[in-house]
């Protein structure tokens, strides 16, 4: 066992694999702590050419690039992997207390999140799930920072965890969004874990759905009975998947407007210590089963928190904060101050009488469905912009949902757009309600067409149900393009 993070990295041949945001953060961390880490060799590898001069203080940093850059792993003791790199061509295994690839025996594979979870002194609340994790993480941060000044928002939401590692203390609190790619090579779990849901996603990155779920559940796999797991009681697939994995104290969040609890939820109820039950009109009931206490509360109105699914996310966040604060009233007030997140059901504005919403973060069908349901109380969602990178997702069920919700126009982007249009055209043959499905190539075409097709008083929503990487750097760039095109019509 290593004493600390520096002992873990000390006197090794280290390869930083990937030189994007997290890779550059790893480089800075090693450079800033070079005396303690003292690597035998330090190198950086990336598919793209690395133009920066990375040498410093007598250390010559080797730069490796090109299509065969992964082959270099065999020359090092430890790989500090960035989350965006696919390892689905390799076979991974746990050896002693670290990960290795069968193709590179004896080479340790680790990542920032694994090192952070092993060695950080802070109180860590980790949030993951196929959708809702960014909003939930931000809500956890919103509540905790009002209770504890030394609170940080880290992880997949945009701040690499090692950027603040050295300043964290035992009374520091970290709300950390943990994407599946960051969890893939973790052998530790956070003290408090929130799992929002599980759906097929990132199938281009993993061997199959089972491989994806295994990596995702590293969030809870290494917890002990002293730790906490907070999950929505109505996510039956999630509960079935984790029932033989978790060992921690269990907290449920229940939507009382949904059907009765599933068989697996009833089974797991015997392990419950607390339950939060969402009623109508933002009211909820908190039950502490260990103390036999029951209290009623009400969430305050916040127009940045749209949809019942986000009220559930709010309760997940409050459940996490209550573990540390022991109260809910101040947390509820803190949530009222939440300003929402860009590209997540973001209200762009009203132009020519049309209300525009940007939900570019929606990269799977379930997220798109929730966005539409959240907006329906505000008006008719008439036009939907959707489609993107093809990740082998079947869109039939989603398109059927769009017919059910009477979405008049679906404007579709490559690459999945052609399949979505084909499904809609096939359904149009047998349906009384007809959907106008159109394939476009650019955001300009899409927004121009949206202005033509959407009536004043109606809603136009960007909720792609697909990743953006075929046309954009990321979902944020896609969302910005959407907003820029809308602005050009003002």
Q: What is the pLDDT of residues 59-116, one digit of tens each?
A: 999 999 999 999 999 999 999 999 989 999 999 999 999 999 999 999 999 999 999 9
- Asked if residue 480 belongs to a known ligand binding site, the reply is no
Percent of the chain at pLDDT > 90 equals: 93
Spatial separation of the C-alpha atoms in residues 222 and 114, rounded to whole Å: 11
Report whether pLDDT(201) > 80.
Answer: no
Is 80 exceeded by the pLDDT of residue 489?
Answer: yes
Q: List, in sequence order, every residue forming a beta bridge with 252; answer none if it has no partner.
A: 231, 275
The mean per-residue pLDDT over the stretch 1-9 comes to: 95
pTM, whole model, 2 decimals?
A: 0.86
Pairing of strands 104-111, 98-101: antiparallel
Among 157-161, 200-204, 226-230, 291-295, the least confident range: 200-204
Shortest CA distance to 443 belongs to which of 414, 422, 469, 408? 414
| Helices 396-404/417-430 angle, 10° precision | 50
pLDDT beyond 90 at 330 = yes
Question: CA-CA distance, 255 to 236, in Å (whole number)?
Answer: 13
Q: What is the three-class DSSP state of 46?
A: strand
Q: Is 255 helix (H, G, I), strand (E, B) or coil?
A: strand
pLDDT of residue 203: 73
Closest to 368 measured CA to CA, from 422, 307, 319: 307
List pLDDT tens digits, range 453-482.
999 999 999 999 999 999 999 999 999 999
Mean confidence (pLDDT) of the chain: 96
pLDDT score of 232: 98
pLDDT at 266: 94
- Average pLDDT over every residue of 27-42: 97
The DSSP string of 399-410 is: HHHHHHTT--EE
| Mean pLDDT of the 333-345 span | 93
What is the C-alpha separation between 174 and 163, in angstroms, rounded?
Answer: 12
Contact 205, 130 (CB under 8 A): no
Spatial distance between the Cα atoms of 246 and 253, rounded to a whole number of angstroms: 17
Distance CA 215, CA 207 (A): 11
Is the model's pLDDT at 204 over the cut of 80?
no
Contact 358, 462 (CB under 8 A): yes
Mean pLDDT of 420-432: 96
132: annotated binding-site residue?
yes
Please check the confidence at residue 391 and state whether its pLDDT lies above 90: no
What pLDDT score does 352 carry? 97
- Neighbouring residues of 100: CB distance < 8 A, sequence distance ≥ 6: 92, 93, 94, 106, 107, 108, 109
User: Does the annotation flag 383 for ligand binding?
Assistant: no
Contact, 399 vs 420, CB < 8 A? yes
Q: Which residues contact 22 (CB under 8 A, 6 or more apart)?
A: 82, 83, 84, 112, 160
- Residue 130, annotated ligand binder? yes
Cα separation, 111 vs 22, whole angstroms? 9
Residue 131 in marked binding region: yes
In angstroms, the Cα distances linking 454 to 81, 136, 222, 382 are 46, 32, 50, 6
- pLDDT of the residue at 445: 98
Lowest-pLDDT choice from 89-103, 192-206, 336-350, 428-442? 192-206
Q: Would you state the pLDDT for residue 165?
A: 97
pLDDT of residue 215: 96
Tell which residue, 98, 19, 313, has the closest CA to residue 195.
Answer: 313
Rounded to an integer, the average pLDDT of 377-394 is 95
> Residue 134, annotated ligand binder?
yes
State how far the Cα of 106 lies from the Cα of 346, in Å rounded to an integer: 47
Euclidean distance between CA atoms 39 and 80, whole angstroms: 13
Domains identified in the chain and CATH numbers: 5-110 (3.40.50.720), 114-337 (3.40.1190.10), 346-488 (3.90.190.20)
Residue count of the chain, please give it: 490
pLDDT band of 259, cuts 50, 70, 90: confident
Q: Tell me which residue of 140, 113, 133 sits closest to 201, measured CA to CA.
A: 133
Tell me what pLDDT residue 477 has: 98
Percent of the chain with pLDDT over 70: 100
* pLDDT score recorded for residue 398: 98
Nearest residue to 154 via CA among 134, 129, 132: 134
Asked if residues 162 and 346 have their Cβ atoms less than 8 Å apart, the reply is no
- By DSSP bridging, strand 249-255 and strand 228-232 are parallel
Of the candidates 288, 290, 240, 294, the residue with the CA atom closest to the CA atom of residue 268: 240
User: CA–CA separation, 143 vs 152, rounded Å?
Assistant: 11
Contact (Cβ atoms closer than 8 angstroms) between residue 348 and residue 483: yes
């Amino acid at each position: 066992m290593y004493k600390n993070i520096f002992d873990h990295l000390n006197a090794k041949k280290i390869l930083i694999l990937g030189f994007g945001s997290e890779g550059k953060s790893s480089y800075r961390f090693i450079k800033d702590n070079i005396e303690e880490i003292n690597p035998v060799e330090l190198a950086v590898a990336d598919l793209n050419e690395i133009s920066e001069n990375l040498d410093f203080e007598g250390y010559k940093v080797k730069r490796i690039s090109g299509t065969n850059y992964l082959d270099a792993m065999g020359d090092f003791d430890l790989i500090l992997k960035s989350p965006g790199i696919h390892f689905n061509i390799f076979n991974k295994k746990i050896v002693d207390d670290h990960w290795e690839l069968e193709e590179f025996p004896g080479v340790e594979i680790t990542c920032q999140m694994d090192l952070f979870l092993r060695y950080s002194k802070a109180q860590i609340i980790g949030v993951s799930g196929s959708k809702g994790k960014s909003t939930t993480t931000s809500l956890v941060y919103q509540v905790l920072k009002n209770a504890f000044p030394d609170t940080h928002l880290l992880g997949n939401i945009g701040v690499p965890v090692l950027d603040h590692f050295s300043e964290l203390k035992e009374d520091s609190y970290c709300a950390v969004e943990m994407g599946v790619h960051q969890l893939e090579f973790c052998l530790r779990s956070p003290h408090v874990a929130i799992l929002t849901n599980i759906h097929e996603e990132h199938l281009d990155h993993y061997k199959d759905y089972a491989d994806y779920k295994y990596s995702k559940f590293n969030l809870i796999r290494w917890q002990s009975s002293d730790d906490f797991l907070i999950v929505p009681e109505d996510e039956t697939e999630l509960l079935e998947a984790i029932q033989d994995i978790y060992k921690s104290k269990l907290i449920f969040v229940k939507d009382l407007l949904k059907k009765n609890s599933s068989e697996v939820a009833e089974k797991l109820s015997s392990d419950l210590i607390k339950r939060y039950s969402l009623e109508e009109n933002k009211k909820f009931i908190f039950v502490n089963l260990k103390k036999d206490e029951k209290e009623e509360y009400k969430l305050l109105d916040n127009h940045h928190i749209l949809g019942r699914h986000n009220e559930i996310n709010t309760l997940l966040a409050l459940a996490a904060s209550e573990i540390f604060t022991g109260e809910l009233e101040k947390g509820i007030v803190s949530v009222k101050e939440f300003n929402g997140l860009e590209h997540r059901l973001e209200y762009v504005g009203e132009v020519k009488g049309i209300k525009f919403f940007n939900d570019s973060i929606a990269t799977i069908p379930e997220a798109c469905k929730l966005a539409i349901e959240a907006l329906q109380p505000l008006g008719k969602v008439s036009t939907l912009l959707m489609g993107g990178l093809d990740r082998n997702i079947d869109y039939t069920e989603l398109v059927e949902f769009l017919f059910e919700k009477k979405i008049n126009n679906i404007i579709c982007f490559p690459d999945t757009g052609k399949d979505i249009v084909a499904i809609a055209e096939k359904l149009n043959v047998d349906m009384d309600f007809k959907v106008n499905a159109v394939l476009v190539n650019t955001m300009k075409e899409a927004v121009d067409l949206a202005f033509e097709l959407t009536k004043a008083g109606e809603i136009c929503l960007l909720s792609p149900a697909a990743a953006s990487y075929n046309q954009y750097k990321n979902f944020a760039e896609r969302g910005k393009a959407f907003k820029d095109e809308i602005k050009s019509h003002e």
